[in-house]
A and B are shown apart, each in its own frame.
Chain A
Amino acid sequence: MNETGPAALYRSMRLIRSFEEQALALVRTGEIIGGTHPYIGQEAVAVGVCAALGPDDQLTSTHRGHGHVLAKGAEPRRMLAELTGRQTGLNQGRGGSMHAADLTLGILGANGIVGAGAPIAAGAAWAALRQGSGRVVASFFGDGALNQGVLLETLNLAGLWRLPVLFVCENNGYATTLPVEAAVAGSALGRAAAFGIPAEQVDGMDAAAVHAAAARAVARARTGQGPSFLECRTYRYEGHHTMERRIRLRYRSTEEVEAWRARDPLERTAGLLAAGQRAAIDQEIAELIAEAVEFALAGPHPDPAEALKYLYADGLLPRPGHPVEVAR
């Protein structure tokens, strides 16, 4: 069983927060190209849900996936190596921030297309049911995904076939700049209810509350009672993407951001720790991250001659785009 006490939850959230802060710094220095979608502020959701999953359970993630991938147990140093495009990365530098995956841990991949992970999760869950493995699959997605047709099709199939899936909607209030009130007719919970899927709203700034709700849902899935839907009310402190600073988008007030920051999930959980515990965890994570940076930046860059290696599982190599070799 996972450790689910406040120290474990705090440690996992601290890891994600520190990893993200480090990633932001590496975006600024140009070590991470393409930028990232920061998860800062939403840590309680990934940590609470993943604490309810066993090692054989699986998940699909989103463009804002670092938190989910780390919470499921991915090695921070290999994750950072992936973000910096190294051969030592989780995906050997072929995936980057939006596609981080670790199959050995049941992480079926982050996904650059909104809503696209949900049917994949449902398929893994369908197979789990057929194989009698008892595995449960969590599918994370944002409020923006609530308006993707494929997600609604998937809710229908999951409800109809009682698939062991946990749909986790991270409602952070915005799809890029579009407020959820301007996007969703009815409600997130209503969408699930329409397909006969038990749905519940949770405080997504409270890791323990998320964990409790997720644990109930996982238990339902494992005992053959089918899918559940969690709407986690949360917030991202940073911009949608690290590019956002540069283009100076204005779509939410400083007061709004500050009000959510005042409910910080790390602070909340830290308040439950014994004296000295927080400092010890913070110290441990700081060392882990420093070591991760060193590992990532020391990693070799993948060989350009192997840019399309892994395109086919059978090793088929595509014809090059240019018939004459050019020295680079």
Chain B
Amino acid sequence: MTKLSYAKALNRALADELARDSGVCVFGEDLGAGLSGLTPGLRDRFGAERVVDTPLSEQAFSSLALGAALAGMRPVVEFQIPSLLFLVFEQIANQAHKISLMTGGQISAPVTFVVPGSGSRAGWAGQHSDHPYSLFAHVGVKTLLPATPTDAYGLLVSAIRDPDPVVLFGPTGAMGVREDVTGELLPVPIGAARLHRAGTDVTVVAAGHLVHEALAVAEELAPEVSVEVFDPRTLYPFDFAALFASVGRTGRLVVVDDSNRMCGLAAEVITAVAEQGIPLRAAPRRVTRPDGAVLPFAIGLDRAVQPDREQLRAAVLAAVQAN
């Protein structure tokens, strides 16, 4: 049995895929040095030709990866900070994502875009603390948000093997998570949710690092409230069937989501359940960042705009006490 960290799991997934498929390659900044945690050791093992240290040219190397994918390769692109995704929204959302449809299925674009360190990085302020997964789910780019090391491993492997563009977010809040691992690490299918904990009173939908907060709340409330913790793992495509089954059992729904409230993931989850006509015993609740949030610098302010355990606990209690 070994302790596997989230960062190490991503690193191992990438190493395994580089070893398995000679078409896999990586583009990004400071990869040789392994600055962001995705690539330590990989350049020495696979060479600078496959683990490519790029100049600071995100727009060019994002579409360059697409061009390489069109030529039969399976590139992975690493971004040092999540807000760089705004810089390359054109390359991901407007080029890579659209090319299969626009060419009438002549082209597929198997490019994986990874941010190992998304969301608040305490003290990094406005331009380094975004967690823009909802934007990609909205556009329809396959969007992955693993919460645990084994899911991080399995989803990155699946992303690399997938024929479509995929964006994988490794939340900063989860990078330190460690897990006891026995046996082989396996791919995790894209589009399959995971029930971390079964419960009967309320379904808490949580993604990324917030899964761990939800599990803590569930544990705390365990004597009085039976909380089911539902982790979609992939935000697009979303495992609605599993969600409906869970909410159908519990009859209550709370969503905790580290994206902005307006047009965010939580809004979609609640709407989908409402549309499905699943009878709820209490009004659904969501705990999110505020509308249009920009994370301020001072740590108290940073925390104030992130969803947290206290808010989640209050929302769960409000849901179960409502009826």
Q: Which of B55, B102, B162, B275 contacts A314 (CB 8 A)?
A: B162
State whether the Cβ of B95 lies closer than 8 Å to any Cβ in chain A.
Answer: yes
Q: How far is the CA of A127 from the CA of B94 in the complex (A)?
A: 22
Residues of A within 8 Å of B4, CB to CB, are none
Q: Which chain B residues have a beta carbon within 8 Å of chain A's beta carbons? A: 25, 49, 54-55, 57, 59-73, 75, 90-91, 94-95, 99-110, 140, 142, 162-164, 191, 237, 275
Q: How far is the CA of A137 from the CA of B66 in the complex (A)?
A: 14
A313–B64 contact, CB under 8 A? no
A99–B103 contact, CB under 8 A? yes
Q: Which of B49, B60, B69, B237 has the most CB of A within 10 A?
A: B60
B64–A157 contact, CB under 8 A? yes
Task: Give the A interface residue count (CB, 8 A).
Answer: 49
Residues of B within 8 Å of A119, CB to CB, are 59-64, 66-67, 91
Shortest distance from the beta carbon of B127 to any chain A beta carbon, whole Å: 18
Sample 17 A-B pairs with CB under 8 A, ordered by A number. A91-B102, A91-B103, A99-B103, A101-B102, A116-B94, A119-B60, A119-B62, A122-B67, A123-B66, A123-B71, A135-B71, A153-B55, A154-B64, A157-B60, A309-B105, A310-B101, A312-B163
A120–B70 contact, CB under 8 A? yes
Residues of A within 8 Å of B94, CB to CB, are 113, 116
The stretch among A61-69, A102-110, A276-284 that forms the contact with chain B is A102-110
Q: A93-B104, A113-B95, A131-B72 are in contact. List 8 more A-B contacts (CB 8 A).
A: A60-B67, A94-B104, A103-B107, A127-B72, A157-B54, A309-B101, A311-B101, A314-B164
Shortest distance from the beta carbon of A15 to any chain B beta carbon, whole Å: 22
Residues of B within 8 Å of A154, CB to CB, are 57, 60, 64
A95–B64 contact, CB under 8 A? no
Residues of A within 8 Å of B63, CB to CB, are 116, 119-120, 123, 150
B99: nearest chain-A partner, CB-CB: A109
State whether the Cβ of A125 lies closer than 8 Å to any Cβ in chain B.
Answer: yes
State whether the Cβ of A149 lies closer than 8 Å to any Cβ in chain B.
Answer: yes
The 7 tightest CB contacts between A and B, nearest first, are A123-B67, A313-B108, A92-B104, A127-B71, A153-B60, A119-B63, A310-B105
B68–A126 contact, CB under 8 A? yes
Q: Which chain A residues have a beta carbon within 8 Å of chain B's beta carbons? A: 58, 60, 89-95, 99, 101-103, 108-109, 111, 113, 116, 119-128, 130-131, 135, 137, 149-150, 153-154, 156-157, 160, 308-314, 316, 318, 323
Residues of B within 8 Å of A89, CB to CB, are 104
B101–A123 contact, CB under 8 A? no
User: Contacts A95-B104, A314-B162 known; A127 to B60 CB distance under 8 Å?
Assistant: no
B56: nearest chain-A partner, CB-CB: A153
Q: How far is the CA of A101 from the CA of B110 in the complex (A)?
A: 18
Residues of B within 8 Å of A92, CB to CB, are 104-105
B240: nearest chain-A partner, CB-CB: A319
Q: How far is the CA of A101 from the CA of B100 in the complex (A)?
A: 11
User: Contacts A123-B63, A318-B140 known; A109 to B100 CB distance under 8 Å?
Assistant: no
User: Contacts A153-B59, A156-B55, A312-B164 known; A126 to B64 CB distance under 8 Å?
Assistant: yes
A99–B60 contact, CB under 8 A? no
Q: Which of A101, A149, A309, A316 contacts B106 (CB 8 A)?
A: A101
